[in-house]
Structure 1
Amino acid sequence: MATTTAQPMGSLPSGLGICTTAPDVFYLPELVFGGLVWILVASTLVDPPNPLGWVMFVSVFCFVMTFLWMVIFAARGHKNSSGWAAADFAYHGLAAIFYLSAGVDLAFITILSKGESKIYKIDIAAVVFRIFAHPATLLYFIHAILSSIRWKNF
């Protein structure tokens, strides 16, 4: 009979456990999609640049914070407390809202520039950005929901 070492409900993972537990398995896909968003935003020419600045802030902020959050959990830098579980839920909820707002901003600017065909064709990267931003938003949203369940059961 095989035994499994399941993580007790309400405890935070550490070490390689972040690669096997329910909400924390989303760290790597969040980093992959966030990195792709960052690359595509950096290669996009959007006029006016203000919404692009917000999109770039969101992609860089979420990428760096997710990486730091993953390193803290992997290095066992957290204490198994409800404060860390609440912070995990709060961060991933905020990241989902940020990515959703960034996608809406860039879609609005792309629609506004549709009449200018030269700029619109250059902004094809902005359209591709939305292809990667939607899964990133979904991953952060699912991570936030699962983190809230973990926090509630803590």
Structure 2
Amino acid sequence: MASSTAGDVMPTGGRIFTTFPDIFFLPEFVFGGLVWILVASTHVDPPNPLGWVMFVSVFCFVGTTLWFFIFLCGANQSSIWPALDTGYHFVAVVFFLSASVDLAIVTISAGDILKVASALGVNTDQLLKIYRLEISAVVMSYVATLLYFIHAIFSARRWKRS
């Protein structure tokens, strides 16, 4: 599966697809992008916590894309890159964890509103659709948080070895 990083400190080119923790770049793209898409496809209400979720998902998606291309092009060979890699991924973990908690709170509130509307006999088809999208976004957000966390831990181990 994935080889260790005992050789060079930071992989370049196609080796990022086979080294641990850099193999997590692609799942981070997928799950971070899914959070972005799922939240964007709902009605962003309330705007403040969901605005933070959108900022975090877009920031991490763009940041990971840049990071990925820096690694792919081999511009990560100076001695500071292991520390930068660790720092970026720990910032992404903190951002995504805070966004995940905010999104979960908003989703729980939406579920409560859905229960009340259903009890009052209101047509809840649109509310149910949004609620399901938000549940999916919460799950994807926590998965993205876990992926960034694993990447951060193993980047820190690589930094310590360098």
CA distance in 2, matches of 1:27, 1:144: 11
Q: Which runs of 5+ in 2 are unaligned?
A: 115-123
CA distance in 1, matches of 2:148, 2:112: 34
| Residues 44 and 51 in structure 2, CA contact (< 8 A), matched pair in contact too | no
Q: CA deviation at 1:20?
A: 0.8
Q: Residue deviations 1:78-117, cap 9 Å, x none? A: 2231x11001001111111111111110111222233322
Residue correspondence of structure 1 range 129-140 to structure 2 within 5 A: 129-140=137-148
Q: Which amino acid aligns with 1:90?
A: G
CA distance in 1, matches of 2:5, 2:110: 51
CA distance in 2, matches of 1:25, 1:6: 11
Q: More deviation in 7-16 or 133-142?
A: 7-16
CA distance in 2, matches of 1:108, 1:49: 13
Q: Which residue is 2:39 aligned to?
A: 41
- For the pair 1:14 / 2:22, whether they are aligned, the reply is no
Q: CA deviation at 1:7?
A: 4.8
CA distance in 1, matches of 2:62, 2:22: 16
CA distance in 1, matches of 2:34, 2:65: 14
Q: 2:94 aligns with which of 94, 97, 104?
A: 97
Q: Which runs of 5+ in 1 are unaligned?
A: none
C-alpha RMSD of matched pairs (Å): 1.8
Identity of aligned residues (%): 54
Q: How many residues align?
A: 149
Q: Which amino acid aligns with 2:103?
A: L
| Residues 40 and 125 in structure 1, CA contact (< 8 A), matched pair in contact too | yes
**Are the structure 2 counterparts of residues 7 and 149 from structure 1 closer, same or farther at C-alpha, using a change threshold of 3 Å?**
closer
Q: CA deviation at 1:40?
A: 0.2
CA distance in 1, matches of 2:105, 2:5: 44
**Are the structure 2 counterparts of residues 25 and 120 from structure 1 closer, same or farther at C-alpha, using a change threshold of 3 Å?**
same
Q: Which amino acid aligns with 1:132?
A: M
